[in-house]
Structure 1
Amino acid sequence: MSKRILVLILIVAIALGAAGTYAGLAFFASGSSSDSGISSDDQNLLSQLSEQQQSLEENMGKMSKVVDAFSIIQENYVEEVDDQQLVEGAINGMLESLEDPYSVYMDQETMEQFNEQIEASFEGIGAEVSMVDGNVTIVSPIKDSPAEKAGLKPNDQILSVDGESVEGLDLYEAVNKIRGEKGSEVVLEVSRPGVDDPLEIEITRDSIPLETVYSETKEVNGKTIGVIELTSFSENTATDFKKALTNLEDKGMDGLVIDLRGNPGGLLPEVEEILKNFIPSDKPYLQIEDPSGKKTRYFSELESAKGYPIVSVIDGGSASASEILVGALNEAMDYDIVGEKSFGKGTVQQTVSMGDGSTIKITRFKWLTPDGNWIHEKGIEPTVEQKMPDYYYTNPMQLEEPLSYNQSDDQIENVQIMLEGLGYEPERTDGYFNEATKSAVEAFQSDQDLDVTGEVDQKTAEVLQTSIVEKIRDGQDDKQLEKALEIVSQ
């Protein structure tokens, strides 16, 4: 028997197996009806079965070309080729042709590794990644993770891992290289928008924090304002959010700020449960569009809106479920959004088992805002734009030679912005290393017990970066949160 006939038989067997399962369901359904005849439900099932059969026949005709390609490669390629390799390649090729970074195939080995990593208490660098235009891209580092502490930022594109290029790898292959055991080190080469040269960022892997809800109160203009920060939407996020919200309400808060900065999204049911706390039943909180274009609106059972104002805070790392939340609060309730434009992910994925341990994660739906807007690849614009201080946007540095007096360089501008952010006075931030910059460097080196040279060598640059990251993590000069608190306390 030829390989071409064998492959064709396999495809037919799989297809008939699927049709047989559907036919069996139809048979058992009709068997449960009354003896007087076929019910309307049975007629619908039979009609659907007929459509499935017709679709199957059409698809079988199209699959003959795939069978031909399989046979040509097997019978003519200069070296021996594994059948499974060709099948896996065909599946990957079909998904890649969709040009959708969120639709991916995980073979049995990759799926096993993925499951093991999920069960292994989340050890790694702690960053949500996606494939954007063929590049492994940081969506957002997780709060208090090694990635955040090392200075990774949304939209950083990973070029290599420990010196090995990730070009040509799929997302899960790249992620497997980045992940690792707690305490181990990894060096990522990244390309950052607005920075000419690639950056090398060294990260020590650690256990990734599982907590997703943080809450506190702040006194502003004589009012008690609750602040809830959501770092992602995972299992129990909605339950923990409800507990935090109830606790703040019991304290008599006068307004609420929901901080979604750096939140890459997560589970759709979790954000839906959170929205049911705020959006009354007379307004949809979300719309879902299926592959046929049919739109379904979703409503809560809430009788009335909260009696206090609510403001959301977002940035470029706020994606997916975060955007669902802020989009709903803004369009359904006209609540303000403070910060910077969000990431822009407006699709929902589902996983489909292939029956052999492998899985396809495929984009199944579009999610739309209450007014029916699709924000995919556009993001959500804040109603009140507010940037952070300049030092929040500085970058790690790799220096081959020290930076010194009378030089001009983009790296020097970076240093000057850091120094200014730390309270030193370089007098200028245009990249020219003047006397005031030298004095500021000397003062910083003295305060940090470094060699006082007035030059910025790699050691000084690293301590500068660490000091800036620590100040950012302490929440100092948080202009976006300050603006949100100002609005909600008016």
Structure 2
Amino acid sequence: MHQEPENKSETKKVSMSVYIGSLLAVMIIAIVAVASVIVWASPDEQEPVGNQTVLDSPAGTPATESVDFQPLEELYAILMTHYFEELDSEGLIEGALEGMADAIEDPYTEYLDEIEVTSMDEDIQGSFEGIGAEVMKEDEYVRIVSPIAGSPAEEAGLMPNDYIVEVDGESVADMALNEAVALIRGPQGSTVDLLILRGDSEFTVTITRDSIPVESVVFELDETDPTIGYVRITNFNQPTYEELVTAIETLQDQGAEDFIFDVRGNPGGLLTAALELSNIFVEDGQPIMQTQTRDEEPYVYLANSDLYGEFKFEGDAVLLIDGGSASASEILAGAMSQSADIPLIGTPTFGKGTIQSIRDLTGSGEIKFTSGRWLTANGDWINEVGIQPDREVAMPEYQNFLLINPEETYEVGDVSEEVRNIKGILDALGYDVGEVNEVFDEPTEEAVRAFQEEQELEVTGTVSGPTANALIDSLRELIQENDTQYEAALDYLMGNE
């Protein structure tokens, strides 16, 4: 049985990355971040992480059994002395380290070199520059968990469960996640071309990289009922607890009595933030979550105002979730549902239930490895299953329509899946295209003309350039105006169910 340590008398001045005790997540990266729960503590306030403590030994713990490393040494010597060209010794060592991590075949275990360590440290501090999407490696693709709110990725129309196939024409199939991220990264103002797979269709999107603002909580009163406050939590960062408290108190001062909290598309963040936010809704002494390492009993985190903050929420509330709600979002959802009896509305969450730890290696690299799992307050392991909503409500089908390539021209006589997509968008916007199929026929042309006239565009009856962009913008507005999950939450709070 693991016990909560009674003090934290020992502290060591080491690099910030050492203090990332556990990553209950895929991985977090600035431009292409990852569904995650990160544990971080300042050098003066190192905290135990569930069943594990912050790892501060660069050399690591000796192996428990004897291992013969002679074959590795022999191979290194042969290559360094007999390969027909001179080799970089550090490159060979890093390759061996990467290979050992990859041999586990765990997408969340990987060797991090000095550049990647520096990148992760910057990300934890909230320095985002790139496209702004949370991703993970899945088979030969890079899977988008969720675009960050307000990011270039979101503005370009990327969605959870899109797959990146190529970056600037280079396949990511044989790349580690960090290698793909290195390609997608880039300075603010530069562009990157991503080949995206969505369902059975592929399309290319050009995204202009930007500095991604870190805004973890946004809020407002409902337009139709000012007694209902809406709070969207976009990430779990260091200031998120204070931001959420401020949001709730501000809305209450404005007259809000009941609340809709929203973690849809939220990939996670700091574990400490997940505990602090959960503590807002759970009575002291009640379970928030559990962690479990190999051969050990689960350690239970209990709500505690002295540890996680004194503010407590009172009133009726619901929480919106979807497939982009991951890790820290799932911890919060589990705690609110199981320990605070707050209903969940939406679709099942992402399902990330393993714990990753980071440890320094001799030299400048680090190893991120899966060291355990986390459980909900009731002891449920949601890995690859997700948390199920109390009321499952899907978003409209047109939410899944694809982007339209503005560099292509679609006209009468064309037959393709792209045409089906265009007709689907026009149909969703209320234009008569007849049957939604792959054929760009005369009814489709007339619908395009009507759309162009209404948008004050050049009336050509073909789709390209400004017309393609206007169709996507109109679709995005339609989705925002028809948030079926939010409407279901309103109905619940207003007693209309």
TM range (shorter): 0.7 to 0.9
Alpha-carbon distance in structure 2 between the residues aligned to 1:412 and 1:454: 13
- The answer on whether the counterparts of 2:230 and 2:261 sit within 8 Å (CA) in structure 1 is yes
Partner of 1:179: 185
Please give the secondary structure, in 2, of the residue aligned with 1:487: helix
Alpha-carbon distance in structure 2 between the residues aligned to 1:485 and 1:87: 57
1:212 aligned onto 2:216: yes
Write the mapping of 1:147-158 to structure 2, written as runs, cut at 5 A.
147-158=153-164
Task: Indicate which of 288, 295, 319 corresponds to 2:326.
Answer: 319
1:107 aligned onto 2:110: no
Please give the secondary structure, in 1, of the residue aligned with 2:268: coil
Per-residue CA deviation, residues 48-95 of structure 1 (Å, 9 max, x unaligned), is: xxxxxxx94754434344334434444554444332222211211121
Aligned length: 431
Task: Indicate which of 413, 419, 422 corresponds to 2:429.
Answer: 422
Alpha-carbon distance in structure 2 between the residues aligned to 1:93 and 1:390: 42
Task: Indicate which of 190, 194, 205 corresponds to 1:188.
Answer: 194
Write the mapping of 1:195-344 to structure 2, written as runs, cut at 5 A.
195-196=200-201, 198-218=202-222, 224-301=227-304, 307-344=314-351
Identity %: 40
Q: What is the aligned-residue RMSD (CA, Å)?
A: 2.7
Q: Which amino acid aligns with 2:372?
A: F
Task: Indicate which of 476, 479, 485 corresponds to 1:480.
Answer: 485
Alpha-carbon distance in structure 1 between the residues aligned to 2:437 and 2:335: 42
Partner of 1:82: 88
- The answer on whether the counterparts of 1:223 and 1:489 sit within 8 Å (CA) in structure 2 is no
- The answer on whether the counterparts of 2:166 and 2:194 sit within 8 Å (CA) in structure 1 is yes
- The higher relative CO (CA closer than 8 Å, separation ≥ 6) is in 2
Partner of 1:371: 378
Please give the secondary structure, in 2, of the residue aligned with 1:235: coil
Write the mapping of 1:391-410 to structure 2, written as runs, cut at 5 A.
391-398=398-405, 402-405=409-412, 408-410=415-417
- The answer on whether the counterparts of 1:95 and 1:105 sit within 8 Å (CA) in structure 2 is yes
Write the mapping of 1:402-481 to structure 2, written as runs, cut at 5 A.
402-405=409-412, 408-457=415-464, 459-472=466-479, 475-481=480-486
Partner of 1:52: none
Alpha-carbon distance in structure 1 between the residues aligned to 2:81 and 2:188: 48
Please give the secondary structure, in 1, of the residue aligned with 2:98: helix
Query: How far off its partner does 1:304 sit?
Result: 12
Query: How far off its partner does 1:252 sit?
Result: 4.5
The structure with the largest helix share of the pair is 1
Query: How far off its partner does 1:340 sit?
Result: 1.8
- The answer on whether the counterparts of 1:230 and 1:258 sit within 8 Å (CA) in structure 2 is yes
When residues 369 and 114 of structure 1 are mapped into structure 2, their CA distance, relative to the original with a 3 A threshold, is closer
Query: How far off its partner does 1:467 sit?
Result: 3.0
Alpha-carbon distance in structure 1 between the residues aligned to 2:271 and 2:63: 36
When residues 113 and 284 of structure 1 are mapped into structure 2, their CA distance, relative to the original with a 3 A threshold, is closer
Alpha-carbon distance in structure 1 between the residues aligned to 2:312 and 2:63: 53
Q: Which runs of 5+ in 2 are unaligned?
A: 1-60
Write the mapping of 1:351-366 to structure 2, written as runs, cut at 5 A.
351-366=358-373
When residues 358 and 158 of structure 1 are mapped into structure 2, their CA distance, relative to the original with a 3 A threshold, is same
Please give the secondary structure, in 2, of the residue aligned with 1:327: helix
Query: How far off its partner does 1:113 sit?
Result: 5.0
Please tell me whether Structure 1 or Structure 2 has the larger radius of gyration of its CA atoms.
Answer: 1
Alpha-carbon distance in structure 1 between the residues aligned to 2:68 and 2:385: 35
Partner of 1:20: none
Q: Which amino acid aligns with 1:210?
A: V
Alpha-carbon distance in structure 1 between the residues aligned to 2:426 and 2:442: 14
TM-score, normalised to structure 2, is 0.79
Q: Which runs of 5+ in 1 are unaligned?
A: 1-54
Per-residue CA deviation, residues 333-381 of structure 1 (Å, 9 max, x unaligned), is: 3322211222111123232122422222222231111111111122222
When residues 225 and 427 of structure 1 are mapped into structure 2, their CA distance, relative to the original with a 3 A threshold, is farther
Alpha-carbon distance in structure 1 between the residues aligned to 2:122 and 2:228: 42
The answer to which of 154-163 and 107-116 deviates more is 107-116
Query: How far off its partner does 1:436 sit?
Result: 3.6
Q: Which amino acid aligns with 1:294?
A: E
When residues 278 and 89 of structure 1 are mapped into structure 2, their CA distance, relative to the original with a 3 A threshold, is same
Per-residue CA deviation, residues 296-334 of structure 1 (Å, 9 max, x unaligned), is: 011113699854222111122111111111122112233
Per-residue CA deviation, residues 436-465 of structure 1 (Å, 9 max, x unaligned), is: 433221111223343323233455323312
- The answer on whether the counterparts of 1:330 and 1:336 sit within 8 Å (CA) in structure 2 is yes
Alpha-carbon distance in structure 2 between the residues aligned to 1:105 and 1:470: 42
